[in-house]
Amino acid sequence: MQNSVSGFSKFTKVEKIDWLISNHFQDNPSAKANLERYWNSNAALQKLHDEFTENTISNFYLPFGIAPNFLINNKIKVIPMTIEESSVVAAASNAAKFWMQRGGFKAKVISTTKVGQVHFMFHGEFSEIESLFETIRPQLFEHTKSITKNMEARGGGILDIKLISKTAQLKGYYQLHVTFETMDAMGANFINSCLEQIASTFKTCSKEIHVVMSILSNYVPDCLVRAEVSCNVEDLVTDESYSGREFADTFIQAVQIAEVEPFRAVTHNKGIMNGVDSVVLATGNDFRAVEAGVHAYAARSGSYSSLTHASIEKGMFRFWIEIPLALGTVGGLTGLHPLVKTALELLGNPSAKELMEIVAVAGLAQNFAALKSLTTTGIQQGHMKMHLLNILNQFEATDKEKLQLVEHFKKNTVTHSAVVEAIEKLRA
């Protein structure tokens, strides 16, 4: 087939780029130069990044920003955020400052249980598989001892193994539903290793057991954290244009709309994930796992709904999030990626539980900032102000032009066409 290649992974990095340029870029030297421009001049650092994954040919930068002034459980934090979208870090910083003056964020981990499953088929009687399971159950624990020893020393391990019949949903389908405590590790490798050992021991008890697969679940409704802000309704006032009560009422309506309307809930939760993902990424955690688990949780009632909730009780405005987060502060990328190490150090080298609290707060703060804008000024005012530099960079504005245009747009509404017009006028 045209442009297909075999043995590609064995090529050196230079060979890979040469193949790519000649087969997919019509030998255009600027594509090659662009890939090489992002190599790090520190060879050891580059090698480290090359080896994170396969077929690495360059690095892909994302901004590493910080949002200061987060008061969380009475301690001030600076939160690292890796994100490309303009105004996310600014929004987090604004929300942090707003709540700093109103008692800050309170966060608490509710539970930390993770799940893995051995999925298997068995076509005999339920009583038969049940009795086989009960007989072999002690060995399932026993045979994983070499894997669980270190985790147990740290206070974690396998919590329970249950046999579950899923035959009502799929003929012959059963699972071993295994629960884990993985302490400060996200635990994916630990869980999967335990599951594969459990599966291999389990299938020895009958030739009729056909193991389909053994894998952790990224759905972690029992690895849950709650973050909250609250203040007197009157204290929500920031300017003359609305009273605290007016602000709170409209804000709560916006949350209620996201609770009942999936089209809005998805965007509402996307804004929350702006905060969540950027901290998850900066701290070297698996944002795809978090995304999958969080959205499944948001749909647990059968209808996709808001992750945040708000109320007024006895004159107190309350706004909170409950979110499942399987995070680690040891293992994986956390000890390898130099910027991840710095991010964790910035957060005071948190435990996984503390990181869950910080990430939940980042999500809540982001949602607060988004709803505050949406229900007052509208989102575009702030967003376009932050996006202004992107537009100016598209037009290769010089530093001097940027200064003049940023000044100009302090008093004028930013739209794409207004910026183009202003650049053209300036340059003319």
Nearest 5°: phi and psi at 145? -55, -40
Whichever of 254 and 327 has its CB closer to ligand MEV, that residue is 254
Residue 268 catalytic?
no
Of the pair 144, 373, the CB lying nearest ligand MEV is at: 373
Tell me, yes or no, if 270 is annotated catalytic: yes
Nearer Cβ to ligand MEV (65/157): 65
Separation of alpha carbons 194 and 111, rounded Å: 21
What one-character-per-residue DSSP string does 194-238 give?
HHHHHHHHHGGG-TT-EEEEEEEES--TTSEEEEEEEEEGGGG--
The residues that touch ligand MEV, with contacts defined as CB under 6 A, are 85, 267-268, 270-271, 274, 370, 374, 379
Q: Cα(105)–Cα(125) distance, rounded to whole angstroms? A: 53
Q: Which residue is nearest to ligand MEV (CB)?
A: 271
Task: Tokens for 57, please give them.
Answer: 């040919």
Active site residue 143: no
Of 131 and 267, which has the nearer Cβ to ligand MEV? 267
Nearer to ligand MEV (CB atom), residue 291 or residue 401: 291
Q: How far is the CB of 9 from ligand MEV (least distance, A)?
A: 36
Distance of alpha carbon 363 from alpha carbon 70, whole angstroms: 12
Q: Which of 206/256 has CB closer to ligand MEV?
A: 256
Strand, coil or helix: 178 = strand
Residues 6+ apart with CB under 8 A from 233: 244, 245, 248, 312, 315, 316, 317
Catalytic residue among 13, 106, 108, 270: 270
Of 27, 36, 85, 424, which one is the catalytic site residue? 85
Nearest CB to ligand MEV, comparing residues 111 and 413: 413
The least distance separating ligand MEV from the CB of residue 406, rounded to whole angstroms, comes to 22
Find the shortest distance in angstroms from Cβ 98 to ligand MEV: 16
Which H/E stretch holds residue 163?
strand 157-165
Catalytic annotation on 77? no
- Least CB distance from residue 306 to ligand MEV, whole Å? 10
Least distance in angstroms from the C-beta of 389 to ligand MEV = 17
CA atoms within 13 A on the CB side of 70: 33
Catalytic residue among 286, 337, 353, 357: 286
Cα separation values, 305 from 74, 128, 263, 301, Å? 30, 41, 9, 8
Angle at 138 between CA 132 and CA 141, to 5 degrees: 120
Return d(Cα 405, Cα 52) in angstroms, integer: 41
| Cβ atoms of residues 330 and 193 within 8 Å | no
The minimum distance between CB 362 and ligand MEV, in angstroms, equals 14
DSSP-assigned letters across all residues of 41-65: SSHHHHHHHHTTSSS--S-----EE
CA distance 29 to 169: 56
CB of 268 to ligand MEV, least distance (A): 5
Residues identified as active-site: 85, 270, 286, 383
